[in-house]
Amino acid sequence: MKYIMRILYTLVFGGLMIGVTGCNKYLDAKPSNFFEVPVTLDDCQSLMDDEQTMNTGFSADGEASADNFYLDETEISIFSGYPFLSLYLWQPDVYASKPTQNVWGNLYKAVLQSNVVLETLNNVRRDNANSVTFDNVKGSALFFRGYVFLKLLSMYSKGYNEATKEQDLGIPLRLSSDFNSVSVRSSVSESYKQVVSDLTVAASLLSEGKPSVFERPSRRAAFGALAEVYLVMHQYEKAELYADSCLKIGSKLIDYNQFDTTSDVPFPSYNDEVIINLLSDVQGFYTGYYDVDTSLLKSYDVTDLRKQLFFQRTSDSTFSFKGSYYASGYFFSGIAVDEIYLIRAECRIRLGKVQDGIDDLNTLLVKRYIEGTFTPYKATDASTSLSLVLQERRKELVFRDLRWSDIKRLNLDGENIGISRMVNNQPLVLKPNENRFAIAIPAREITISGMQQNPR
């Protein structure tokens, strides 16, 4: 299988380029064994278990563009010429310095691999002996394709707006491994319909039980993903339904009192809150040459363990993030129980079930404060309760590559969240609902494909 995977990596890099151009030059240069592909159900499972492609190709590009951190002038100079700085400054050609090393290509590798598996399964007989494995492999491929599409939309498209969804630019929906299929951008409406379709079918196929490894999708993961999607789409009844379905399968929260606040790596990988392990390439975050937003830091109470478990001091006045749910050089960007509680809490309040939403929030927070110090919140009016949940959402899910998407969806609700940077002692401002909230697609992809670039 390692050989097959190596061939597929070649297919990805060549395939994406051929798929958007129709060019035959790459085909002319292909090796004689280029078309070796998976055949059996075991082959397909191995491709889904290729965690380097399927689980670690996600991105912190949205996080690099958002407002959970800042760079001082020295840090800006350190990152000069790197994509991390271009993302931070919302520039039009993010990957100009490294055109072949971009998140867009990495994520579409996972899409291609999913499509290869789905096509292979069309030629594999499903029977009583293999039905569970067959359904889980097919469900996994649909889960990954749908969830990757969602992540691409969160970065490269505007927020889901019911009034403009047919006109707003979505992403290329590559639904086959055919290299000669030209990539074109679908609308935001079409893109989200595909995400919902993939994840809904995945949920019907995947097993409810806990997978043998955290990198494999499960029905609970698909329910969690659908809760995320419908939250972004402002469809709160469905988001609550899927969050509730997810938590009914498993709702265990970890108690932060059990972890060492002085540790550089306080949380173990694969802890009990992790539903599926997905990781983001941290790029500039890995170096620690960035500073957590000061207003965010001040929002944590002195008895809130998250302040000590999430952040570590880098100077007398600055902090960096250490609180990933994966204990080795990556940001955790998968689906976890705490996020699902917060989705259900928010949706319940938006739907008028304020007490139920506050109960969800209290269930989470009692596990986050020094034992005996947390006073449960009381339900008041819906507006105040919603503001409280949204504040806790930001504090709990910090550096999980969710903030960028949250800003976009909340601004469509009138939250009026802008972002400002200081560069050369001059303010650089991203105003609410600006075009630059859709990150620029790598220029190389635009040149090759002819796709429309996101306007700046």
Q: What is the pLDDT of residues 44-61, one digit of tens each?
A: 999 999 999 999 978 789
What does the pLDDT read at residue 234? 98
Question: Is residue 342 scored above 60 in pLDDT?
Answer: yes
Q: Is the pLDDT assigned to residue 28 strictly greater than 50?
A: no
Per residue in 206-222, pLDDT (tens digit) is 999 989 999 999 999 99
Cβ atoms of 121 and 137 within 8 Å: the answer is: yes
CA distance 383 to 194: 33
Residue 332 has pLDDT above 70, yes or no: yes
Q: What band does 299 get if pLDDT is binned at 50, 70 and 90?
A: very high
pLDDT at 456: 87
Mean pLDDT on 383-395: 98
What is d(CA 276, CA 220) in angstroms, rounded to the nearest whole number? 9
- CB burial string 215-253: b at 16+ within 10 A, e below: bbbbbbbbbbbbbbbbbbbebbebbbbbbbbbbebbeeb
Residue 74's nearest CA partner among 315, 399, 330 is 315
Give the rounded distance of the alpha carbon of 95 from its chain centre: 20
For residue range 307-324, list pLDDT tens digits in order: 999 999 998 889 999 999
What is the tens place of the pLDDT at every residue in 209-268?
A: 989 999 999 999 999 999 999 999 999 999 999 999 999 999 999 999 999 999 999 999
Residue 36 is predicted with a pLDDT of 58
pLDDT for position 316: 82
In this prediction, residue 156 carries a pLDDT of 96
Tokens (6 digits) for 167: 């006109």
- Please give the domain boundaries of the chain with CATH numbers for all domains: 2-258+332-449 (1.25.40.390)
| pLDDT for the residue 30 | 35
- 163-172: pLDDT as tens digits: 999 999 999 9
The residue with tokens 């909340």 is: 410
Comparing 186 with 15, which gets the higher pLDDT?
186
Q: What is the largest CA-CA distance in the chain?
A: 69
Q: Is residue 289 scored above 90 in pLDDT?
A: no
Q: Per the structure block, which two tokens stand in for 194?
A: 């595909």
Report residue 329: phi and psi, to 5°.
70, 5
Mean pLDDT, rounded, of the chain: 90
Q: What is the pLDDT of residues 72-106, one digit of tens each?
A: 999 999 999 888 999 999 998 888 777 766 889 89
CB contact at 8 A, 360 and 341: yes
Task: Please state, for a pLDDT cut of 70, what percent of the chain lies above it.
Answer: 91
Written in H, E and C, the secondary structure of the chain is CHHHHHHHHHHHHHHHHHHHHCCCHHHHCCCCCCCCCCCCHHHHHHHHCCHHHHCCCEECHHHHHCCCEECCHHHHHHCCCCHHHHHHCCCCCCCCCCCCCCHHHHHHHHHHHHHHHHHHHCCCCCCCCCHHHHHHHHHHHHHHHHHHHHHHHHHHCCCCCCCCCCCCEEEECCCCCCCCCCCCEEEHHHHHHHHHHHHHHHHHHCCCCCCCCCCCCCHHHHHHHHHHHHHHCCCHHHHHHHHHHHHHHCCCCCCHHHCCCCCCCCCCCCCCCEEECCEEECHHHHHCCCEECHHHHHCCCCCEHHHHHHEEECCCCCEEECCCCCCCCCEECCEEHHHHHHHHHHHHHHCCCHHHHHHHHHHHHCCCECCCCCCCCCCCCHHHHHHHHHHHHHHHCCCCCCHHHHHHHHHHCCCCCCEEEEECCEEEEECCCCHHHCCCCCHHHHHHHCCCCCCC
* pLDDT attached to residue 134: 98
Q: Is the pLDDT of residue 390 over 60?
A: yes
Question: What pLDDT score does 451 carry?
Answer: 94
